[in-house]
Structure 1
C-alpha cells in the first residue's frame, strides 16, 4: 500500500482527492492548517517552517489561493510559493521521491501577470529539490462547488459551456475541467513510475483520469 501525503486537503482539489482515493491502495496523511476529520492521520501546520512528516512514497500538493482571498500579493505568495516549497522540503525529508503539484495553465516564471509568475516560479524551484519524479498538473478553470465565494470564477463557470465551443485544438488547455476529473488524474499520477519532470494540461489530465491507480 502506498503512503500518500496530501497538502491542501480541505480545499476544492484536496477534497476531490479524498473522495476518490481507494483505502486499499493508499494510506493518506493530510497536511494543512485545519483537520479534515476524514482520515485517521492528520498533520496540522501553519507552513511557517517545514513540518515534520511521516515517511511516505508520494506527496500531492493542492495548496493554493487567490490574491483576493489572501488579501494581498504578499499573502498570496506565502501560500502559493512559500507553503508549497516548505511542504516539498518536508516531503523530501520524509523520504518522498515522487511529488505532484497542482499548478495552473499559463504558469511561467517570466510572466507579466503576478499569479502566473508565482506559479511558474514555484514549478521551477521544485525541480531543484531533487525528487526522482515531479508531476506538475496545469489545469484550466476548475469546475466545482467551492465553500468560499469567488465571483469571477462563478461567472466563468457559468459561461464555460459556451466558452469551450471556441477553445478547440491547442486552446482547449484553457477550458474548464471538473475537479473530480482532476482528482482522479492526480491519483492516477501516483502510480506512474518513470523518472523525470512532467507537465500535464487539460487533455492529458482527462486521459489520466481514465486510468486506474496502481
Structure 2
C-alpha cells in the first residue's frame, strides 16, 4: 500500500520520520546539513551540523551552536556521543569504500540504544542527472553490514551485527504522465492498455515508481 504522503520529492515528510525518534534531550548529528533545513524543521538550534562545504558551514554558524566542517567518511566526534544520527541525501555521493568507512565511523559515534536515520535515492530515471551521484545504495546494504543479515555473502567484514531495522519508508514518483508519450501509438495492444490505464487514472489511481527511501536502524547492545 503506497502512502500518499511519500509520493513526493520534498524532504519534509521524511524529516518527520527522523523527528519521531528524537527526544527533547537527544544529542543529534545531522550529516550533510546543507542550509540546516532538518534542524529548522525540528525547531532546534542545538543539533550538531556537519557539512563539507565551507561556505555552508560559515552560513550555519550564524544561526546554530554546533557546526563542524569536514569530509566523509571522517566523523570527528567522541565515541558513543550521539542519540540520533540523521543523514539525508549524502551516501549516494560516496564511493563503496568510503561508504563502508562511513558506517564504521557512524557506529563509533552512535550510542547504544541510538538511532541511525538515512534517506537516499534509489536508481531511477533521474538518478544520474546529478553528476555528483556516485552509486545508489539499496536498503539491504545497511541490513547486511549493520544487522548481521546474510553474512555469508559479504565481501567485507560486517561493521556490526547489533542493529535492528525499525522502519523503512519508500519515496515514490507518479510516473503516469510518462505514458502520455505513447498516446499516439498505432499498436492496438498499446492503445488498449492506455485505455484501461486512463480509466484507472480517473478513479485516482496511477503508476508509481520507487525513487528513494528512508531507513531507521536502532543500535542495540
Scaled by the length of structure 1, what TM-score is found? 0.47
Instruction: Report the structure number with the largest CA radius of gyration.
Output: 2
**Higher strand fraction (1 or 2):** 2
Greater helix content: 1
